[in-house]
């Protein structure tokens, strides 16, 4: 079963994914939809030029980029699920989150299995003080989607603690004062270190004030030193994503 893993990962990268990892979802403290034992985490990087422009708040251009990357990721998870099913396995897609809060999500601001859980279990990064996944390659300028499967893939080593250390850049820049400053580890609940409701209220103000389609901000993404390293690297190459 692992024989097909390199082919699948290669195909996803060719379709625009920036990072791909495999998570072992057995024995995690959340209910995995469909009881699937493995998850494929797929990340796509945001355009560094647009990310650099949102240090003082989101724009329509950023909203368009958000939608572009979500569409790219959703194409990737659809392909991955089809690939797995063609090989005789079950697959369940969890599309990239559209930040329009409705229904039960509006009551809890939680999903049953967050993409960030699959991503950290797949070794793609850690949860930053801004409650987003931080990757060494792109900082937090990435979006995620996931595919759950019963195919016995070879999982990557999970990340279980923060790599942020004493960095406070996302805390300083956050207009909602949502990050507490506490470093994440995999024993913590999101609410132990981040005020998600303060973040939501701020993104709702941005949405209304700037005539955006989604509840987005991105200021903490633009301020992250690893995001800035990604931007500088992209500028040195003279390319955008």
The total of other beta-carbon atoms located within 10 Å of residue 47's CB is 19
Determine which helix (DSSP H) or strand (DSSP E) holds 143, and give its type and residue range: strand 142-149
Question: Could you give the 3-state DSSP secondary structure of residue 68?
Answer: helix
Q: Is residue 205 part of a domain?
A: yes
Segment 34-55, tens digit of pLDDT: 889 999 999 999 999 999 999 9
Residue 101 is predicted with a pLDDT of 47
84: in domain: yes
Q: What are phi and psi of 180, to 5 degrees?
A: -80, -20
Across 150-179, b (16+ Cβ under 10 Å) vs e yields bbebebbebbeebbbeebebbbebbbbebb
Residue 125: other Cβ atoms inside 10 A: 28
Each residue's pLDDT tens digit in the chain (241 positions)? Answer: 567 899 999 999 999 999 999 999 998 888 888 889 999 999 999 999 999 999 999 999 999 999 999 999 999 999 999 999 999 999 999 998 754 444 445 556 778 899 999 999 999 999 999 999 999 999 999 999 999 999 989 999 999 999 999 999 999 999 999 999 999 999 999 999 999 999 999 999 999 999 999 999 999 999 999 999 999 999 887 655 5
In whole angstroms, give the CA distance from residue 75 to residue 55. Answer: 29
Please state, in angstroms and rounded to a whole number, the distance separating the CA atoms of residues 240 and 237: 9
Residue 73 lies in a domain: yes
Assess if residue 239 is contained within a domain.
Answer: no
pLDDT at residue 2 in the model? 60
User: Can you give the pTM of this predicted structure?
Assistant: 0.92
Helix, strand, coil percentages for the chain (3-state, nearest 5): 40, 15, 45
Separation of first and last alpha carbons in the chain: 32
What total of structural domains would you count in the chain? 1
Distances (CA, A) of 8 to 1, 60, 85, 96, 229: 11, 34, 12, 19, 29
Q: Could you list the residue range(s) of the whole structural domain that residue 134 is in?
A: 2-234
* Helices and strands counted in the chain (H then E): 9, 6
Answer yes or no: is 135 within a domain. yes
Is the residue at 95 inside a domain?
A: yes
- Helical (H) or strand (E) element with 208: helix 196-210
pLDDT score, position 190: 94
> Residue 192: inside a domain, yes or no?
yes
240 is a domain residue: no
């Amino acid at each position: 079963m692992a024989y097909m893993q390199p082919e699948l990962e290669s195909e996803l990268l060719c379709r625009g994914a920036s990072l791909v990892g495999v998570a072992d979802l057995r024995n995690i403290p959340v209910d995995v939809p469909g009881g699937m034992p493995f998850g494929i985490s797929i990340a796509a990087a945001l355009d560094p030029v647009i990310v650099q422009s949102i240090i003082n708040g989101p724009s329509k251009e950023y909203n368009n980029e958000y939608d572009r990357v979500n569409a790219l990721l959703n194409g990737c998870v659809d392909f991955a699920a089809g690939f797995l099913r063609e090989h005789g396995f079950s697959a369940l897609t969890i599309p990239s989150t559209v930040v329009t809060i409705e229904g039960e999500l509006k009551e809890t601001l939680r999903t049953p299995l967050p993409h960030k859980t699959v991503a950290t279990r797949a070794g793609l990064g850690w949860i930053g003080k801004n409650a987003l996944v931080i990757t060494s390659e792109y900082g937090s300028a990435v979006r995620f989607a996931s595919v759950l499967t019963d195919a016995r893939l070879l999982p990557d080593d999970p990340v279980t603690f923060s790599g942020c250390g004493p960095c406070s850049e996302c805390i300083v820049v956050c207009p909602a004062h949502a990050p507490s400053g506490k470093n994440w580890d995999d024993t913590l609940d999101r609410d132990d270190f981040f005020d998600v409701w303060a973040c939501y209220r701020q993104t709702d103000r941005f949405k209304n004030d700037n005539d955006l389609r989604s509840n987005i901000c991105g200021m903490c993404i633009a301020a992250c030193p690893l995001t800035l390293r990604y931007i500088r690297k992209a500028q040195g190459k003279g390319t955008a994503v």
